[in-house]
Amino acid sequence: MKKTFSIYGILVLMSTLLPDVLSANDEIPADWKLSSRQAGYIFFEKAVPKAEFSYYKYKLSNPNQSTRNIALEFMKNVKGKNLRPVPKIKGWEYSYVGNLPCATVVSREDDYAVLINVCGEAEVSDISRLIKISKTQFN
């Protein structure tokens, strides 16, 4: 039986992987496809079961902005609702309007914000590999 994530479980996984230095040798998991790659943004999706993964890295206009305000700003851009904090790991759960349950982890790297967002159902090993791939794209 394959392990799929709970929202809390994936937040814990993402928060533990954020500080690590990761290699670029990982390939995109078989069921996933790269949907979009732009400056500061990479997006993967999977059809069955439906899941989305995105990684954002951008310069903060206000370096003193709190991680909660960063998450709220992100939610406005993706039309999220019902933001619920998970304080132990500086993460949030929310609902994506008309779509899937989501989780977001916010991290800071100097004057940059890093947001990792997962919606839907995905294997923990797939999410781990997508985080590694994304980090190597922006480091």
pLDDT at site 22? 40
The predicted-structure confidence for 41-89, as pLDDT tens digits, reads as follows 899 999 888 888 999 888 888 888 887 788 777 767 666 667 676 666 6
Amino acid at 108: R
Give 24's DSSP letter. Answer: S
CA-CA distance, 41 to 56, in Å (whole number)?
5
pLDDT at site 98? 56
Q: Domains in the chain and their CATH numbers?
A: 7-138 (3.40.1000)
Tokens representing 33 are 């496809």
Angle, helix 7-17 to helix 124-138, in steps of 10 degrees: 40
- Tell me the whole-structure pTM to 2 decimals: 0.70
Using pLDDT thresholds of 50, 70 and 90, give the confidence band for residue 39.
confident
User: According to DSSP H, which parts of the chain are helical?
Assistant: 7-17, 67-78, 124-138
